[in-house]
Structure 1
Amino acid sequence: MSDLPAILLAAGGSTRMRGADKLLEEVNGVPLLRRQAARLCAATRGTVIVTLPPAPHPRDAALDGLDVKIVRVADPSLGMNASLSAGVVALPDARAALVALADMPDLEMADFARVLAAVDDSATRIWRACTENGAPGHPIAFHRDLWPALRALTGDTGGRAVVQAHAHVTRMIPLPGTRARTDLDTPEAWAAWRAT
């Protein structure tokens, strides 16, 4: 099992759900946020950081009893990079850290573990999950050398600029099917996913 830390980005406003909270949608009776946080905790002995909106928030209860470090994002409306930056600032000393999105219900504990296990001491600086056909997705592990660049990001790009700038030192990690790209942002997406 890895001892690398992980960040679960969960501070977004769920704005495309038309009033519902996608991270509190239940999957087999468990809120998605709790399900994915628990899977990360099972994949690593390292610190699992969960970024959340300011307290109090309905998502707080979904994490009760889990061994996670909650980091509050003062203004999540500034975009995903506000959440990413807050999580990176809170990281403990480590050679790399995994960044995961909380709205990807197909990701299993083994998927997180596979990307974490790929982190090595080569010249690679990004280890990125992809579909079995090679389409890039999530989660993504970043070498500590890139943490300052991640902290400096603004907007809603989710680290895209850092990923693009380091494509030459990125290793792709295939996951089964399309797990690495399945995210659910709308009621329609949830309905279609549940139907399958």
Structure 2
Amino acid sequence: MTKFSAIVLAAGLSSRMEGAHKLLMPIQGKTIFERSMKSILEVDFSEVIVVLGKESEKLQRLIQRDGSIKTVYNAYYESGMTSSIQAGIKEATGAVYVICLADMPFLLAEDYLQLMNRFNENNGKDILVPLFKGQKGNPVLFANVYKNEILAHTDPNGCQQIVKRNTEKVDYFETNNLRFTLDIDIKTDLEKWFDAQQRRTYTL
């Protein structure tokens, strides 16, 4: 059975949220972080590694204390997302890294499972990227054969360059599931998703 490591990136600066830390913002009684973690914990990952940085103490208090989650503090979180990915995979032991964003509170457990099942189809690809109407989504999955390449990666903004360098090994999973692209970066993002819910174009 393939072991999938969930690496949850929760160390960002949240600089686009105009002073507020987006992961601590509430949605229907729960923070964005708690809602994101709820779905992740409903999946049978071999391990869940949460990478913390800014507001680490406040986020740590929101994490379940049952031993099922490992937390890692990224002292270099201000340098960008890549440093958090690297901090997570240094601790990961699974065969596949599932790079989860902690600001995607609308993803469901079934969404993660869909990607994991697709990865297990053994189609000769070992990177998986969800694609909604041409827009790349998250989470992105990497086989652990990319560990050294990711650790040596210098682009601070994530692993898109690694995806581009290995295009022949990438499985672009086309889906009509909007949730794979629903992350929260600015306050109007929340307004947009609530508006979509009211118009019944998307159900939270």
- After TM superposition, the score normalised by the length of structure 1 is 0.89
1:65: how far off?
A: 3.1
The CA deviation string for residues 130-171 of structure 1, in whole angstroms up to 9 with x for no partner, is 21x343211111011111111122343211111111121111
CA distance, structure 2, for counterparts of residue 32 and residue 176 of structure 1: 23
Residue equivalent to 2:118: 118
Q: State how 1:117-196 maps to structure 2 within 5 Å.
A: 117-120=117-120, 121-131=122-132, 133-196=133-196
1:186: how far off?
A: 0.9
The CA deviation string for residues 67-125 of structure 1, in whole angstroms up to 9 with x for no partner, is 21111101211100010100110101x32121111112221111111111122344211
Is the CA contact (8 Å cut-off) linking 1:3 and 1:44 kept in structure 2? no
Residue equivalent to 2:77: 76
Is the CA contact (8 Å cut-off) linking 1:33 and 1:63 kept in structure 2? no
1:36: how far off?
A: 1.4
Distance 1:14 1:89, change over 3 A: same
CA distance, structure 1, for counterparts of residue 9 and residue 56 of structure 2: 17
Residue equivalent to 1:22: 22
Is the CA contact (8 Å cut-off) linking 2:8 and 2:101 kept in structure 1? yes
Is the CA contact (8 Å cut-off) linking 2:6 and 2:45 kept in structure 1? no
The CA deviation string for residues 162-190 of structure 1, in whole angstroms up to 9 with x for no partner, is 11111211112234432222211111222
Is the CA contact (8 Å cut-off) linking 1:2 and 1:116 kept in structure 2? no
**Structure 1 range deviating more: 5-14 or 50-59:** 50-59
Amino acid at match of 1:179: R
Amino acid at match of 1:69: K
Is the CA contact (8 Å cut-off) linking 1:55 and 1:72 kept in structure 2? no
The CA deviation string for residues 14-67 of structure 1, in whole angstroms up to 9 with x for no partner, is 011111111112222111112212211212231011100177522111213362
**Structure 1 range deviating more: 46-55 or 1-10:** 1-10
Match of 1:105, SS state, is coil
Q: How many percent identity over aligned positions? A: 25
Q: Which runs of 5+ in 2 are unaligned?
A: 197-204
What is the RMSD computed on CA atoms of the aligned residues?
2.0
CA distance, structure 1, for counterparts of residue 62 and residue 125 of structure 2: 35
Is the CA contact (8 Å cut-off) linking 2:98 and 2:141 kept in structure 1? yes
Is the CA contact (8 Å cut-off) linking 1:2 and 1:113 kept in structure 2? no
Q: 2:95 matched to 1:95?
A: yes
Q: Please list every run of at least 4 consecutive aligned residues from structure 1 whose deviation after the TM superposition is greater than 6 angstroms.
A: none
CA distance, structure 2, for counterparts of residue 2 and residue 89 of structure 1: 19
Match of 1:39, SS state, is helix
Is the CA contact (8 Å cut-off) linking 1:26 and 1:32 kept in structure 2? yes
